[in-house]
Amino acid sequence: MTNVLDRYLNIQGVTRYEISKRGKVSASTLQSAVAAFDKAGMQAKVAVKTITAIAEAVNRTPGQVLDGIQDVISKGDKTMIVNIEFNSGSKPYQTTIQFEHLNDDNVEYIGGREVSTAMVDIFNGNDIDKDLVSNYESYYTENDIQDAEHIKSWFLDQIKYEYTNSEIAEINLEEE
């Protein structure tokens, strides 16, 4: 599942098989739609009934589906830098995490989901005098990094055992 349409469907929590099973469009028609989308955009015509069937399956309008697919394409080569300041107990910590939107070069298929890996380095102290206190690799999905609230939830879930009762003090997102 490293193509644009499957990546969009994965974010929406549905598969091509589930859409074709509903009987609105065949598996071969969906396969043709897969071939129509790539990193450069829509390269071939996709039948209106195909987009409509996808829209019904993900509870969106056809326009929202096309916008969502375009969003997957445009995010493909971008990197997101996230700076997080958080407190655990009374101690302040900082981390900077670099996320790449899932693309053909960085995706793995684990546990039925497309994931990628982020390095998480956690420091204590202020910007001038900070010490590395822990670091690890962590899996994330495209859904985990869709906005600041999802990133907060993902991050707190990653640190919940090592940094109990953590609260995010500040989060800043930058896309390159």
Q: pLDDT tens-digit profile of 13-70? A: 888 888 888 877 888 888 888 878 766 666 667 778 888 889 998 899 999 998 888 8
Instruction: Indicate the pTM of the whole model.
Output: 0.61
Q: How distant, in Å, are the alpha carbons of 73, 109, 167, 170 from that of 104?
A: 11, 11, 34, 32
The two three-digit tokens of residue 14, written as one number: 């549905």
Residue with the larger pLDDT of the pair 35 and 152: 152
What is the reported pLDDT for 150? 92
Going 77 to 99 to 101 to 114, the CA torsion angle's sign is: positive
Contact call for residues 60 and 68 (beta carbons, < 8 A): yes
Structural domains in the chain, CATH included, are 4-75 (1.10.260), 79-175 (no CATH)
Q: Residue 153: is its pLDDT beyond 90?
A: yes
At 156, the pLDDT band (50, 70, 90 cuts) reads very high
Contact call for residues 52 and 17 (beta carbons, < 8 A): no
Contact call for residues 174 and 81 (beta carbons, < 8 A): yes
Percentages helix, strand, coil for the chain, rounded to the nearest 5? 35, 35, 30
| Residues written for the chain | 176
Lowest average pLDDT, out of 62-66, 136-140, 148-152, goes to 136-140
